[in-house]
Amino acid sequence: MNDLDLLPEPNDAFEIASVRLTVDLQALADNWREMARRSGMARAAAVVKADAYGLGLEDCGTTLYEAGARDFFVAVAQEGVTLRAYAPEARIFVLSGIWPGQERMFFENDLVPVLASEEQLAFWMGVIAEFGDYPCALQVDTGFNRLGLPLADALALAEDVSRPASFSPVLVLSHLHSGDTPSAPSNKLQLESFQQVTAAFEGIESSLSASAGIFLGQDYHFDLTRPGIALYGGEAVNGAKPLRAVATAEGRILQIREAQKGETVSYGATHQLARPSRLAIASVGYADGYLRSLSGSGIPLRGDGSHGAFGFIAGKRVPVVGRVTMDLTIFDVTDVPEQHIHTGDYIELFGPNISLDEVARAGGTIGYEMLTSLGLRYERRYLEAAD
């Protein structure tokens, strides 16, 4: 008998992980249905780029498809290839468009390229001249100065009687640059520009609004909306209450230690304790996407003295103290009764008690980056949707 045979079998990997992530697929499905409701007469797509905002394309894509989504947006073609297995009857739009050498990938997986430049448009004309009619979408820049044909060029294309008859976009779209700020005057300016586009491409479906734009009202909905961050529990509009939390990230406490008033904490000794304290050292750091800028001190970007992030355990908010390091973060748990916290327990990093966007703001960023920066070390658990 090997000595290893005497050891107990490992527990469930999630229960013993150093860092772990729970993804509530029921909340994801409910959030999509809510955004579909808010989209009024428009259909609601689902944006699943960047591995479904870091939460897993396979599980999230399947859940959204089963919830009723039939239009999806990905960033690159390979994401669309992966998604096709889980959304067999969906239209899948690829926002980065198509380039030479990708034709087979698009055709075999029934992906719809979103053409966003004169170069892509010219290439696509050659593709359809050789292979015949195939659906595409056309992105128009209405003031973002990112991807998209300039407005004047798009209007000229619509009126160009010499364009191939086989050029048949199934969707024209644009993107609001300040949709998360409802009072921004640019929203109405972009809306007016896009209305010119939809009039020029009469009879072709149109889409302007991602998550934030949906909240601007019916005028911004057109035929298809493109909710993204709102589906995953992030704030779509600055300062507005998000929908249901989908992701809960937790770090395991490796040690609880006593420290005296006047002692310092973590690299650079940037935090000095103002009282006798109990410190919980959690197994999470910037290698796990828990950003160094979430540190409780020693961050030049927060020279104004504002606090860093908080965690949550045993009903209490607990602040990060000192600098976040690659694999470890220190929380001040002095105010948590000793009998309610032990080594091996988990501190919530963000989730239902500490919102994703609160943590993001503490780190000087946004919820999008927090989710898409999740590292490879998280053990994941998916809570299945009921239907």
- Output phi, psi for 168, to 5 deg: -135, 80
Return the SS3 of 383. strand
The domain spans of the chain are 39-232, 247-383
Helices (H), the chain: 13-16, 25-38, 49-53, 57-67, 77-84, 103-109, 118-131, 151-159, 185-200, 211-214, 356-362, 367-372
Q: Which residues are catalytic?
A: 49, 267
pTM over 0.85: yes
DSSP annotation of 161 reads T
CATH 3.30.70.100 fits 39-232, yes or no: no
Beta bridge partners of 21: 249, 380
Task: State the DSSP H helix or E strand holding residue 361, giving kind and residue range, or none if neither.
Answer: helix 356-362
Return the SS3 of 379. strand
Q: Specify the pLDDT at position 319.
A: 97
Q: Sign of the C-alpha dihedral, residues 215, 83, 351, 387?
A: positive
Helices (H), 71-180: 77-84, 103-109, 118-131, 151-159
User: What would be the CATH architecture of the domain defined by 247-383?
Assistant: Beta Barrel (2.40)
Radius of gyration for the alpha carbons in the chain, expressed in angstroms and rounded = 24
Q: Specify the pLDDT at position 167.
A: 86
Q: For residue 229, give the nearest of 358, 367, 95, 351 by alpha carbon.
A: 367
Task: State the DSSP H helix or E strand holding residue 136, giving kind and residue range, or none if neither.
Answer: strand 136-141
Q: Specify the pLDDT at position 165.
A: 75
The ranges of the chain with pLDDT < 70 are 1-10, 298-306, 387
Say if residue 91 carries a ligand binding annotation: no
Say if residue 125 carries a ligand binding annotation: no
* Beta carbons of 239 and 222 less than 8 angstroms apart: no
Residue 167 tokens, joined:
């050029």
What is d(CA 171, CA 195) in angstroms, rounded to the nearest whole number?
14
Q: Specify the pLDDT at position 385.
A: 84
